[in-house]
Chains A and B, each alone.
Chain A
């Protein structure tokens, strides 16, 4: 699966620049799959820091002291929010890279 996708995106990458009209369908499906994969991995982190560290495992993490905070408490009141911000910018970066690879971004 992975291998196929890599070759596919690779191919569409090349074809995409030569003749965009022909590869429209393949382009779109591969682009969408790549987007979903990026999204899924980032949402896993999103779930982990908030629902995981901040709620489900908060008591266990609270046994650990993190500077002046109990770690679970810190995640739920500070850490999760910082990670959320980073996640959105990571998504922006990865998607811009994807857009460039698929020839969807104006070169400047």
Chain B
């Protein structure tokens, strides 16, 4: 059967499962809509959290980034997993014990202030929308590459599916579809990785395979071979980092604190029965996440080595089929700089701008022509990092059904994250903004209707972002972490670990953290992008890592302002003591 037909089959099958789950798990109360009734088993919540967390970026892009950056890619591996330790230790159990529905709920109650609640609502909405735009785009891209439909059509289909189970089922529907989506995405990720690992090293587990020796009988370790190939071609050695230690340190810290402070992740822990379940559920979540995150660097190393061996010094006619296919979709490009009819893959960008702008016609060897200015280095290949995961089954010549799995997996990753984000946005509007701020006397039935309505509106806006992606989205998504690290993380941690921090302290801290972090990022990314190099960065910290400094500032300002202001009222202090331990006989 052809890969396209199989792809349609897999996608239709998984979508059918999601819809069936949605029908089975409708929400009839706000409690079910916001936190799935609070009775989700810790293991189920762990799987749902993993799917919620692992987005189109984790599934499609992360291994690609590591494949091209080598050792530096570790910042995502450590940053996006280490945050779960912080979440399990510092946040999840206490917020579950607090026992309400949303993150702004906690911020507003703990800091006894509508202003604090409002700041939190705005942060939630901003962070979630920047994040969700990328997901809908991911849905569109998977559709267009594998099913040959327009990106726009793909986005609309994705919107329809999410609409169905998020609006009907709320958190309850989302939770159980996320469990299914986790199974789909991890299967789709592991199967090709295991195949490739066996082909290259004879070791079935990719996490071990990439530290093993090559199966070609040479007895050389795979990574040594890769280091050799990369240096030989004039690129940085794969296992050698290029980022400065300071920058790596700050980026990893920002990603960790940001992960722990992302509202759509935190809120998943409101769905388990009690605080003990929240702790253990964070452990299960990390096990499920680690399965993909320890495989990703292996996929990265395998693909890089396969890629180099497939294309280096090959003539256009000898290049494998996938080369032409991905060249047609604009993700690969070859410019024969030295006119020798063979492809030379070297360090540096092959052309300027880096992404190819294709023109009509073919070159002497049959390659697509570009209008880009060629750079003076010897590199003749442009390759988009997203290819690494999407094309790795083809590059490794795996059977069609494995290729077809990738589409279903990518869609599961993007849809599950999008749904989690939508729920957070809708509850921020219906619960925090309408019920707790604007119209305190709405009935539960009305609140539920508002929740469904705001979910529907949010899906619509997210879809628009997917169809007409604002140019800044890609730039901003990574910074959702910096902002979460600089705003929520310190406010929540201080709210739990100190009885004394006052509302003035927390609000001043959050605003300082956000303004500082956003200001630094906006300056280097939008106002003066040419200055975005390490010599202009403060203490060598890139915009990606600045959230850590914003977080430290937030802590410092919160604590200083607290010293100058009144202590929180007695009932708030009692609440802090209450959430620090489980109920007796829980």
User: Could you list which residues of chain A lie within 8 angstroms of chain B, going by C-beta atoms?
Assistant: 20, 28, 31-32, 35, 39, 42-43, 46, 50-51, 54-56, 58, 62, 66-70, 73-74, 76-78, 80-82, 84-85, 87-89, 91-92, 95-96, 99, 102-106
Contact = CB atoms under 8 A, between A and B. Distances in A.
Contacts of B248: 55
B78 A89 contact: no
Given A31-B581, A85-B290, A87-B85, A76 B71 contact: yes
B555 interface: no
B586 A105 contact: yes
B279 interface: yes
Given A85-B286, A103-B584, A78 B221 contact: no
A99 B239 contact: no
Contacts of A66: 211
A91 to B, nearest CB: 6
Contact of B82 (A35, A77, A80): A80
B18 interface: no
Given A81-B77, A88-B286, A105 B585 contact: yes
Interface residues of B, number: 49
Contact of A76 (B74, B84, B279, B584): B74
A88 B282 contact: yes
Contacts of A89: 280, 283
B85 A76 contact: no
B229 to A, nearest CB: 15
Given A88-B85, A88-B286, A104 B297 contact: no
B241 A92 contact: no
A66 B212 CA distance: 11
A73 B213 CA distance: 17
Nearest to A35: B580
Contacts of A80: 77-78, 81-82
A73 B223 CA distance: 11
A55 B211 contact: no
Nearest to A47: B82
A88 B280 CA distance: 8
Interface in B203-231: 207, 210-213, 221-224
B82 A62 contact: no
A42 B89 contact: yes
Contacts of B282: 88
Nearest to B210: A68
Chain A contact residues: helix, strand, loop or mixed = helix
Given A66-B211, A68-B222, A76-B77, 18 more contacts: A20-B584, A42-B85, A46-B82, A51-B252, A54-B74, A56-B249, A58-B71, A67-B212, A68-B212, A69-B239, A70-B223, A73-B239, A74-B211, A77-B77, A81-B78, A91-B89, A104-B581, A104-B586
28 contacts: A42-B89, A43-B85, A54-B74, A55-B252, A68-B223, A69-B211, A73-B74, A73-B223, A73-B239, A76-B71, A76-B74, A76-B77, A77-B77, A78-B297, A80-B78, A81-B294, A84-B82, A84-B286, A85-B286, A85-B290, A88-B282, A91-B279, A95-B276, A99-B582, A102-B581, A104-B584, A105-B276, A106-B585
Contacts of A58: 71, 241, 245
Interface in B243-295: 245, 248-249, 252-253, 256, 276, 279-280, 282-283, 286-287, 290, 293-294
Identify which of A46, A70, A82, A84 gathers the most chain B CB atoms within 10 Å of its CB.
Answer: A84
Nearest to B81: A81
A31 B583 CA distance: 13
B88 interface: yes
Contacts of B89: 39, 42-43, 91
Contacts of B279: 88, 91-92, 95
B479 to A, nearest CB: 21
A3 B235 CA distance: 58
B581 A82 contact: no
B577 interface: yes
The interface centre, meaning the residue of B74, B210, B290 with most chain A CB atoms within 10 A of its CB, is B74
Nearest to A65: B221
Interface string B68-82: 000101100110011
A70 B223 CA distance: 9
Contact of A28 (B276, B287, B577): B577
Nearest to B279: A92
Contacts of A28: 577, 580-581
Contacts of B252: 50-51, 54-55
A7 B538 CA distance: 50
A92 to B, nearest CB: 5
Nearest to A56: B245
Contact of A84 (B66, B81, B585): B81
